[in-house]
Amino acid sequence: MGIDQLDGRIIVLLAREPRIGVLEMSRRLGVARGTVQARLDRLQSNGVIRGFGPEVDPAALGYPVTAFATLQIRQGQGPDVRAHLATVPEVLELHTTTGTGDMMCRLVARSNADLQRVIDRVVGFDGIVRASTAIVMENPVPLRIIPLVEQAAGDTEGT
C-alpha cells in the first residue's frame, strides 16, 4: 500500500484535467504510454482510485442548502436507522462515530424551510432519540484530495 511519485503525479494530473486521456498524460509526464496505462490499472485495482464518476453539484440540482446532523440512536437500533436513512435521497452520506453522537450525516435541502421537512423525515423514525443540526453557510475548503496525494507520494516512496 502507498503510492510513489509517478502515481502521485498521475493522480494530480488527472484531478486537474480529468478529460486528458492516457496518451496526453504520458506526453506530459515524460513516460511511455504503456507505463501510464499500467499505473492506472494498478491504481484502480488497488482501490486507490475508486472510479471517475461525475461530480454533481447538489446546489445546481436545486438543493442549495447543506447541513450536518448528529444523531443519537436508541440501543440496538443502529441497523434499522441505517436502513431508514439510506432510503432518504437527501441523505448524501452517513457515518457512525464515536463521541457525543452515534451517527453523523450530511443532508441537502431545497431551502431552509425544506430542510425542516428533510429533518423531520430523517428523525421521524423510532430508533432516533435526538438530532442536532448544523447548517452550512460557507465552504472555504471544498472536498479535495490533491494535497493529501502529494503528501502520500512524497512521504511513502512505495512500501
Partner DNA sequence: CGGGTAGCTGGTCAGATTGCCCAGTGAAAA
Partner DNA sequence: TTTTCACTGGGCAATCTGACCAGCTACCCG
- For a second copy, the binding residues in 29-48 under the rule CB under 8 A are 46-48
The cell for 150 is 502529494
Q: Which is nearer to DNA, 105 or 152 (CB)?
A: 152
Cα 23 from chain centroid (whole Å): 28
Interface residue with DNA, options 32, 59, 92, 129 (CB under 7 A) = 32
Of 5, 18, 23, 79, the one binding DNA (CB under 7 A) is 23
Tell me the CA distances in angstroms from 158 to 38, 48, 150, 153, one per residue in order.
16, 13, 13, 8
Query: Which residues, 118 to 137, sit near DNA by CB under 7 A?
Result: none
Q: Tell me which of 41, 126, 145, 157 binds a second copy, using CB under 8 A.
A: 145
The site partner of 133 among a second copy, DNA, none (C-beta below 5 to 8 Å per kind) is a second copy
| Measured distance CA(144)–CA(90) in Å, rounded | 22
Question: Taking each helix axis from N to C terminus, what angle separates 22-29 and 5-16, rounded to the nearest 10 degrees?
Answer: 130
The contacts of residue 119 (CB under 8 Å, 6+ apart) are 67, 69, 107, 131, 133
48 counts as binding DNA under rule CB under 7 A: no
Question: Which spans of this chain sit near DNA (rule: CB under 7 A)?
Answer: 6, 19, 21-24, 30-35, 37-39
